[in-house]
């Protein structure tokens, strides 16, 4: 009985049963506060991302108006009951366009990022387990890709392929797979030398199963962390390309496109440009908050 009580106390506060002097206590409290702060940032990030995803996925249910309906008689309205954030130069509801635009932005960003990660990790693992000549070939291509500034290369690629949302996806994947390939190759090379891989090998696990059951699960957390950190920058890249007219095309609601259109009326109707920028800021910031906290956790950072 006594024992269980002691245990339950320990669960609540593990300092109760240990004598600590004030020095130690101050240090422990500092660590705890840091931990709480980081935890709070993580929770804020998760809550914001959840909210944004919910409103974007539920856009057809929530949005007050049709995002594509043009009504020139209602252009440049300030916020009213029917148009909570006002209307743009063609009389379209800004709120509805933002909600639908979020769908495009986040969905395309996630899609292109998963494409990037899959290709990058696959090439990385492949070059780590292949003979040296294949390895140098892939790493050479990686270095060439990394030598160019990402956004410039993406602009060139979309320029060749023609502006469209699918081509932007391809371009973004093409410029950012190299990072994942290098990271996963290095991770595989270091894990391959560890004891459990050798042990699994001599106990008779085939090479394919070693990759499937031992290598991939072990690099997964690191790759996932980098991926979450990269969601924000991918959304930004997508918006950038749309802003300069290479991504989503004119009537499609997309945040980058909206900013591009609102740019001309920035003096006359600032609400048109402010709301998409706020949305991009919030989305990128909240994804980065999650990514940073995940990195802190998985990199073994002591709080």
Enumerate binding residues for another protein (CB under 8 A).
194-196, 198-207, 209, 213-214, 217-218
Q: How far is the CB of 144 from another protein (least distance, A)?
A: 26
Smaller CB separation from another protein, 69 or 198: 198
Q: Give the contacts of 42 (CB within 8 A, at least 6 positions apart).
A: 289, 290, 293, 294
Nearest to 135 by CA among 144, 143, 127: 127
Cβ atoms of residues 121 and 181 within 8 Å: yes
Half-sphere exposure of 156 (CA within 13 A, CB side): 9
The helix/strand/coil state of 93 is strand
**79 or 221, CB closer to another protein?**
221
- Least separation, in Å, of the C-beta of 206 and another protein? 5
For another protein, give the closer residue by CB, 61 or 208.
208
Look-up of token digits 């918006």: 239
Q: Which is nearer to another protein, 61 or 203 (CB)?
A: 203
| Closer residue to another protein (CB): 38 or 192 | 192
Q: How far is the CB of 201 from another protein (least distance, A)?
A: 6
Q: Which residues of 152-169 are buried (b: 16+ CB within 10 A; e: fewer)?
A: ebbbebbeeeebebebbb
199 or 244: CB nearest another protein: 199
CB of 279 to another protein, least distance (A): 37
The 3-state DSSP class for residue 87 equals strand
Rounded to a whole number of angstroms, the minimum distance from the CB of residue 184 to another protein is: 16
Report the C-alpha gap between 255 and 170 in whole angstroms: 19
294 with 225: CB under 8 angstroms? Answer: yes
Distance CA 183, CA 193 (A): 16
Tokens matching residue 177:
């797979």
Compute the least distance from the CB of residue 126 to another protein, in Å: 17
Q: Tell me if 217 sits within 8 A of 199, measured CB to CB.
A: no
Nearer to another protein by Cβ, of 165 and 197: the residue is 197
Q: How far is the CB of 135 from another protein (least distance, A)?
A: 12
Residue among 73 and 131 whose Cβ is closer to another protein: 131
Q: What is the dihedral of CA 97, 51, 286, 266, to 10 degrees?
A: 20
Those residues whose C-beta lies under 8 Å from the C-beta of residue 96, and which sit 6 or more positions away, are: 59, 63, 64, 65, 66, 67, 253
Q: Minimal distance in Å, beta carbon 190 to another protein?
A: 13
């Amino acid at each position: 009985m006594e024992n269980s009580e002691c245990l339950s106390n320990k669960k609540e506060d593990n300092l109760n049963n240990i004598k600590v002097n004030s020095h130690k206590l101050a240090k422990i409290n500092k660590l705890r506060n840091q931990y709480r702060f980081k935890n709070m940032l993580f929770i804020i990030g998760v809550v914001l991302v959840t909210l944004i995803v919910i409103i974007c996925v539920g856009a057809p249910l929530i949005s007050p108006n049709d995002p594509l309906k043009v009504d020139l008689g209602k252009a440049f309205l300030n916020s009213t009951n029917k148009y909570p954030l006002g209307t743009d130069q063609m009389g379209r509801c800004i709120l509805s366009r933002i909600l639908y635009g979020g769908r495009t932005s986040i969905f395309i960003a996630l899609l292109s990022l998963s494409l990037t990660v899959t290709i990058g990790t696959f090439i990385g693992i492949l070059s780590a387990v292949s003979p040296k000549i294949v390895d140098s070939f892939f790493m050479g291509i990686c270095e060439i890709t990394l030598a160019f500034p990402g956004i410039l290369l993406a602009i060139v690629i979309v320029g060749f392929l023609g502006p469209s949302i699918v081509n932007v996806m391809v371009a973004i994947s093409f410029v950012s797979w190299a990072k994942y390939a290098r990271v996963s190759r290095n991770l595989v090379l270091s894990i391959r030398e560890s004891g459990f891989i050798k042990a699994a090998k001599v106990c008779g696990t085939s090479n394919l199963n070693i990759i499937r059951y031992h290598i991939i699960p072990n690099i997964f957390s690191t790759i996932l962390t980098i991926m979450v950190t990269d969601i924000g920058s991918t959304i930004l890249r997508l918006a950038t390309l749309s802003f300069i007219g290479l991504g989503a095309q004119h009537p499609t609601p997309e945040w980058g496109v909206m900013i591009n259109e609102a740019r001309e009326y920035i003096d006359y109707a600032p609400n048109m440009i402010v709301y998409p920028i706020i949305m991009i800021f919030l989305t990128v910031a909240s994804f980065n908050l999650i990514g940073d906290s995940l990195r802190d956790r998985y990199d073994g950072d002591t709080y």
